[in-house]
Amino acid sequence: MNEETVKLLIGPITQAFALLGAGICMGLGSIGPGIGEGFAAGKACEAVSRRPEEYSQIFRTMLVGQAVTESCAIYALVVALILSFH
């Protein structure tokens, strides 16, 4: 078989596995950040009810913590986008 035939045969299979990988990557990759960010939000609510006067500092810390947690989901998104346009 010459190179063209091999590419014709293998190409769709490679693309199919890349697409499956994209789906699994984004699906599993968003479980952790979702739970983690919600946990941060819940604990921030608790903290505000304990110390309402420290509200602005709690709010800022929650947002920074969630932004860092978000980076995991963004990694998954970037990899999934690369794979789905493979």
Partner 1 sequence: MGLANAAALLGAGLAMGLGALGSGFGIGYAAGGALRALARQPIKQPLIFRTMLVGQAITETPAIFALVVAFLLYFASAETLDAPWSLAQSAAFLGAGLCIGVGAIGSGIGSGLVAHDALDAMSGNPSSQGPVLMFMLIGQAWVQTGCIFALVISLFLLASGNSAGLSGPEDFRLWSLIPLAGPETVATARHLAAGLAMGFGAIGSSLGIAYAGGMACRSLAAMPGSDARIKTVYFVGSATAQSPSVFSLIISLILVLNA
Q: Cβ of residue 2: shortest distance to partner 1, in angstroms?
A: 15
Is residue 30 part of the contact set for partner 1 (CB under 8 A)? yes
Which member of 2, 64, 77, 82 binds partner 1 (CB under 8 A)?
77
3-state secondary structure of 28: helix
d(Cα 6, Cα 18) in Å, to the nearest integer?
Answer: 18
Q: Cα 81 vs. chain centroid, distance in angstroms?
A: 11
Instruction: Return the number of other C-beta atoms located less than 10 Å from residue 7's C-beta.
Output: 11
Site residues, partner 1 (CB under 8 A): 8-9, 11-13, 15-17, 19-46, 48-50, 52, 55, 58-59, 62-63, 66-67, 70, 73-74, 76-77, 80-81, 84
